[in-house]
Chains A and B, each alone.
Chain A
Amino acid sequence: MKIDTELIQKIATLAHLELTEEEVKTFKKDFKEILNTFSILDRIDVKGTKSSFRPLEQKNILREDKIKPSLTQKETLSFTKDHKDGFFIGPKTIE
C-alpha cells in the first residue's frame, strides 16, 4: 500500500497530533517498514475463526447497583488548576 505524506497527515489529524516535516518523513519511513512486517498476517487463513478481544472468555461481570464511597468533588477538581463553581474549565467545543 502507498504510504505518502497525505496518509500520514490524515492519521495525525485523527490522532490529534501535529507533526513537524521531519516527523512526517520519519513516520513515513517507519510505517513502510512496520506495515510491511504486519503484512505477514495476509498469509494466514482465518476464515471461520472468531475474534479474541480478550485472551480468556469472560461473560459480563455485573455488580449490585449500590452507592459506594467515591472521590469527592473537591478531590476530583484538585487534579486541575482550572476550575470554577465546581466545574472543570475546558476549551470551546465549537470553534
Chain B
Amino acid sequence: MTPTTKTPSKKEIQNVLKECETHNKKHHCFTTLCKEEAQKQKKAKGTLSGIYISVKDNICVKDVETTAGSHILKGYLPKFDATTIQKLKEEGATIIGKTSCDAFGFGSFNTNVGKGFSIPKNPHDTKRTTGGSSGGSAAITQLATFPHVSLAESTGGSIACPASFCGIIGLTPTYGRVSRYGLIPYANSLDKIGIMSKKVSEIEPILKVISGFDEKDGTSLKEPLNLNAPKKLRIGIIKESYAKGIDPEIQKALKSILTKLKQKHTITEISLPLTTTYGVACYYILATSEASTNLACLSGLRYGQELPKKNKGFNSYFTEVRTKSFNQESKRRIMIGTFTRMAGYRDAYYIKATKVRTKIIQEYKKAFKTYDVLISPTMPFIAPTFSNIDKMTPLQNYLSDILTVGSNLAGLPHASIPIGKKEGMPIGLLAITDHLKEGTLLQTLKEIEALQ
C-alpha cells in the first residue's frame, strides 16, 4: 500500500470495485460491495486519501447493509457511521465494502455464516478456510493489489486467527484503545476493533486515525496512543508453544525466527500455566454469557428480520423470529450463555470465570515486569480443509483458540505476522505486549518482517 494522498477518481474507484468483484466470485470475501456508496462518499483530503478500506460486516457503515454476517439482521441499513468509519472517512479513506464473517463473530473458521451467506475461501487454497471470524477481511487483504487495509474485529482471536491462516498481518489493539461505538456486539468486555494489512508500515497510519477517546463508548480509554518502543526487546517465548498438539512444523518455523531475533534481542522461555490451562473455558463462559444478553435485542421488531404478522403475543413472536433466523452456532452460544447465567449456575460458571480472568490478567502483568513482548505461534495448525472442519465437534472448534484467547481475555494488544509456510499454507506468529504498548508491538512486527 503506497498512500497516494490523492483523492481517487471515479475510474480508479470503479477499477478497485471491479477487482473486488472478481475476487469475490472465487473467494466470497464480501457480503456487500459499496458500488454506489464508494462513488457517492464525500472525499475529504487527508492522511488516508487514496486508501481503500474493507470493513468487517459487524461494523456499521451509514446506508450500507450491515448484518454481522447474520440472517436476522438482513436488510438492516444503519443511519450512522461507527466512530472508526467516521474517522476514516474524515481522513479521506474510501470504504469499498463489508466483509464476510461468522454470524456475530461466532466462529474460528468463518464457516458459521448466516443463512443465505457464502463461506469465504482461503486465497492460498480454496479447499481451506480463511479462519474466522474476520475471514473475509483477511482474504481480501491477501488478494488486493490496490492500496488496501481492512478494519476487522476480535473477541477471542478473530483477527489473529484469519491473519495467520491467510498469511497477512492482523493487529488487535488494547481493549478500549479504539471506540466500539457502532460495532454490533458479541461480548462487550472482549470486543476490539483492529486492523489487517499486508505490510507492517500500513498499520500505523490507520491506528493513529482510529485510536482515541470516544464519549459514545463507555469503555473507551483516555490515554493517548503510545508509539514509543525499546530498541532492544526482552522477548519471552511462551513455553507452552512447544506443547503436544501444536504442529511440529509450526514449532520449527518459530524456532528459526527466534534464532534470528536472538542476534539482537534477549530471548528466554516463560510459562503461562493459568492462561494455558483455564483460558479457553474462561473465555467461552464469559463470551457466551455476554453474547446471550447482547443478542436479546434481536427481537424482530425495531430492525432486521420481521415476521409478516404481529398478531401473536410478544414471547411467541420473539421466539418464532429468533428460531427462524439464528443459525445453529448462534443458537448454541446463546444456549450456553443462558445456562452459565442461570439461577443456580451463575456463581459456578459466570462469576467464577470473571475471577479466573483476574488471575489470568495478573499472570500476564507479572510477565510484563520482565518482558517487553511475549511470543507463541498464532494457531496450533495451518488452515484446515473444509472437509476436516466438518468432522470437528463444537468443542474441538473452541479448543483451536487456545493460543489466542489469553491476550483477548486480558485486553492486551497482540498481532499475528506470517513467518513461513507448510504445504504452501502460511504460518503465523503471535506477539503480545502489555496494555497500551502498541508501539512495542509494532516495533516487534517490524523486526520480524525485516528478517524475512
Given the complex, which residues of B lie within 8 Å of A55, measured CB to CB?
175, 189-190, 357, 361, 409-412, 435
Given the complex, which residues of B lie within 8 Å of A34, measured CB to CB?
284, 336, 394-395, 398
Interchain nearest-CB distance for B128 vs A (Å):
25
Main secondary structure of the interface of A (DSSP, over half): loop
Are A61's CB and B218's CB within 8 A?
yes
Chain B, 311-348, CB within 8 A of any chain A CB: 311-320, 322-323, 326, 328, 331-332, 334-336, 338-340, 342
Count of residues in B whose CB is under 8 Å from the partner chain: 73
Binary B-proximity of A25-58 (CB < 8 A = 1, otherwise 0): 0110011011001101100101001111111101
The residue in A31, A53, A55, A56 that gathers the most chain B C-beta atoms within 10 A of its C-beta is A55
Q: Which residues of B approach A to under 8 Å, CB–CB?
A: 76-77, 79-80, 174-176, 189-190, 215, 218-221, 274, 277-278, 280-282, 284-285, 292, 296, 301-303, 306, 310-320, 322-323, 326, 328, 331-332, 334-336, 338-340, 342, 349, 351-359, 361, 393-395, 398-399, 409-412, 435
The residue in B190, B317, B338, B351 that gathers the most chain A C-beta atoms within 10 A of its C-beta is B338
Are A71's CB and B339's CB within 8 A?
no
Are A51's CB and B303's CB within 8 A?
no
Q: Which residues of A approach B to under 8 Å, CB–CB?
A: 8, 11-12, 14-19, 23, 26-27, 30-31, 33-34, 37-38, 40-41, 44, 46, 49-56, 58, 60-61, 63, 71, 75-76, 78-82, 88-95
Are A54's CB and B281's CB within 8 A?
no
- Assuming A40-B277, A90-B310, is B320 touching A18 (CB within 8 A)? yes
Given the complex, which residues of A lie within 8 Å of B292, measured CB to CB?
15
- Not counting A8-B335, A11-B342, A95-B313, a sample of 12 additional A-B residue pairs whose C-beta atoms are within 8 angstroms of each other reads A15-B292, A15-B331, A17-B334, A18-B320, A37-B395, A37-B398, A51-B354, A55-B357, A56-B176, A90-B310, A92-B314, A95-B314
7 smallest A-B Cβ distances: which pairs?
Answer: A55-B411, A95-B313, A51-B354, A46-B355, A91-B317, A79-B303, A15-B338
Given the complex, which residues of B lie within 8 Å of A51, measured CB to CB?
351, 354-355, 357-358
- The answer, among A11, A33, A53, for a CB contact under 8 Å with B339, is A11
A55 to B177 CA separation, bound complex (whole angstroms): 12
- Assuming A17-B331, A53-B189, A56-B175, is B356 touching A38 (CB within 8 A)? no
Interchain nearest-CB distance for A84 vs B (Å):
11
Are B280's CB and A37's CB within 8 A?
yes
Given the complex, which residues of A lie within 8 Å of B410, measured CB to CB?
55
Are A95's CB and B221's CB within 8 A?
no
- The answer, among A37, A38, A80, for a CB contact under 8 Å with B302, is A80
Given the complex, which residues of B lie within 8 Å of A46, measured CB to CB?
352, 355-356, 358-359
Are B395's CB and A33's CB within 8 A?
yes
Interchain nearest-CB distance for B415 vs A (Å):
17
- Assuming A18-B320, A54-B189, A58-B176, is B282 touching A41 (CB within 8 A)? yes
- The answer, among B316, B336, B349, for a CB contact under 8 Å with A31, is B336
A12 to B322 CA separation, bound complex (whole angstroms): 11
Are B220's CB and A61's CB within 8 A?
yes
Given the complex, which residues of A lie within 8 Å of B357, measured CB to CB?
51-52, 55
Given the complex, which residues of A lie within 8 Å of B354, measured CB to CB?
51-53
Are B358's CB and A41's CB within 8 A?
no
Given the complex, which residues of A lie within 8 Å of B322, measured CB to CB?
15-17
A92 to B309 CA separation, bound complex (whole angstroms): 11
Interchain nearest-CB distance for A13 vs B (Å):
8
Are A71's CB and B80's CB within 8 A?
yes
The residue in B190, B221, B334, B399 that gathers the most chain A C-beta atoms within 10 A of its C-beta is B334
A15 to B285 CA separation, bound complex (whole angstroms): 16
Residue of A nearest to B359 (CB): A49
A94 to B320 CA separation, bound complex (whole angstroms): 17
Interchain nearest-CB distance for B179 vs A (Å):
12
Given the complex, which residues of A lie within 8 Å of B76, measured CB to CB?
79
The residue in B220, B302, B318, B328 that gathers the most chain A C-beta atoms within 10 A of its C-beta is B302
- Assuming A44-B359, A51-B355, A52-B354, is B334 touching A88 (CB within 8 A)? no
**17 A-B contact pairs sorted by A residue (CB < 8 Å):** A15-B331, A16-B296, A17-B323, A18-B320, A31-B339, A33-B394, A49-B355, A50-B358, A51-B358, A52-B357, A52-B361, A55-B411, A61-B218, A76-B302, A82-B310, A91-B312, A92-B314
A60 to B218 CA separation, bound complex (whole angstroms): 8
A37 to B280 CA separation, bound complex (whole angstroms): 9
Interchain nearest-CB distance for A51 vs B (Å):
4
- Assuming A55-B410, A78-B79, A90-B310, is B335 touching A17 (CB within 8 A)? yes
A50 to B189 CA separation, bound complex (whole angstroms): 16
Given the complex, which residues of B lie within 8 Å of A63, measured CB to CB?
215
- Assuming A38-B285, A38-B349, A40-B277, is B358 touching A52 (CB within 8 A)? yes
- Assuming A23-B331, A52-B357, A80-B301, is B284 touching A38 (CB within 8 A)? yes
Are B338's CB and A89's CB within 8 A?
no
